[in-house]
Structure 1
């Protein structure tokens, strides 16, 4: 059974904070890079979050999948857009990506969708 989406996010953010205490330079560089990647430019943030979701599914990172589902919804993506994004990731990632779409993604989508 997939983990609770809220627990995944809590674990991830707690871990990032712990890394920041131990290695503030690494943490600052990561935060700066991450924030720069999601600045709205030619692409709206919603599409950047959907791209992040597809990559997270392909890479099979339950933390990133959960975060990008939540962020995509917050940026106005709907269920169909998220599931269509998942279909592209599964086309590239095969059965392992499908397993994460069927568990982690669906749990996050069901938890965070209004």
Structure 2
């Protein structure tokens, strides 16, 4: 896979800027969410960005990947920290698929009874 992450990040910032300019209330709401997430201060910026990358992996958001990868780099995250973070995300996705598979099996069995 060859993704131009720098180009994607630049394009995303431009597109999001246009959205914010066209509807300033959207940008204000996003800023409020971001400020609330960091308000307590128990987690440092690097940890918050690593969590954001784990979430980006599970939600499959390429723009989130670009934005939070850059922020994680800027916050001093190491490649080793990222790899451990991604292992947690992979495990969670596998676990979620396992749990939901049990729900699907239960639904199928229930709905197949006559």
TM-score, normalised on structure 1? 0.73
Q: Cα deviation per residue 1:62-104 (whole Å; 9 max; x = unaligned)?
A: 111122122112111111000111111111224xxxxxxxxxx
Q: Residue 16 of structure 1 aligns with which residue? A: 16
Q: Which runs of 5+ in 2 are unaligned?
A: 95-114
In 2, the alpha carbon distance for the partners of 1:3 and 1:38 equals 30
Q: Which runs of 5+ in 1 are unaligned?
A: 95-114
Q: Cα deviation per residue 1:10-68 (whole Å; 9 max; x = unaligned)?
A: 12111111111221111121123223323571111110011001000010111111221
The higher relative CO (CA closer than 8 Å, separation ≥ 6) is in 1
TM-score, normalised on structure 2? 0.73
- Correspondence 1:82 to 2:76: no
Shift of 1:2: 3.4
In 2, the alpha carbon distance for the partners of 1:6 and 1:36 equals 28
Q: Which moved more, 1:1-10 or 1:82-91?
A: 1-10
Larger Rg: 1 or 2?
Answer: 2
Aligned residues: 94
- Correspondence 1:30 to 2:30: yes
Matches within 5 A, 1:73-112: 73-94=73-94
Moved over 6 A (4+): none
